[in-house]
A and B are shown apart, each in its own frame.
Chain A
Amino acid sequence: EADIYQTPRYLVIGTGKKITLECSQTMGHDKMYWYQQDPGMELHLIHYSYGVNSTEKGDLSSESTVSRIRTEHFPLTLESARPSHTSQYLCASSDTAGSTEAFFGQGTRLTVV
Chain B
Amino acid sequence: KNQVEQSPQSLIILEGKNCTLQCNYTVSPFSNLRWYKQDTGRGPVSLTIMTFSENTKSNGRYTATLDADTKQSSLHITASQLSDSASYICVVSDRGSTLGRLYFGRGTQLTVWP
Contact = CB atoms under 8 A, between A and B. Distances in A.
B43 A42 contact: no
Interface of B: 31-32, 34, 36, 41-46, 49, 51, 89, 91, 93, 95, 98-102, 104-107, 109
Contacts of A103: 46
Contacts, number: 56
Given A90-B44, A104-B44, A107-B41, 15 more contacts: A6-B43, A31-B100, A33-B102, A40-B109, A42-B104, A42-B105, A42-B106, A50-B98, A98-B93, A99-B93, A101-B34, A104-B36, A104-B45, A105-B43, A109-B41
B16 to A, nearest CB: 27
Contact of B102 (A6, A40, A102, A109): A102
A81 interface: no
B55 to A, nearest CB: 16
Contacts of B32: 98-99
B3 to A, nearest CB: 10
B52 to A, nearest CB: 10
A34 interface: no
B104 A43 contact: yes
A15 B96 CA distance: 40
A104 B42 CA distance: 9
Contact of B46 (A33, A98, A101): A101
A98 B109 contact: no
A90 B58 CA distance: 26
Contacts of A2: 45
A103 B41 CA distance: 16
A94 B93 CA distance: 12
B9 to A, nearest CB: 9
Contacts of A109: 41
Contacts of A92: 43
B44 A99 contact: no
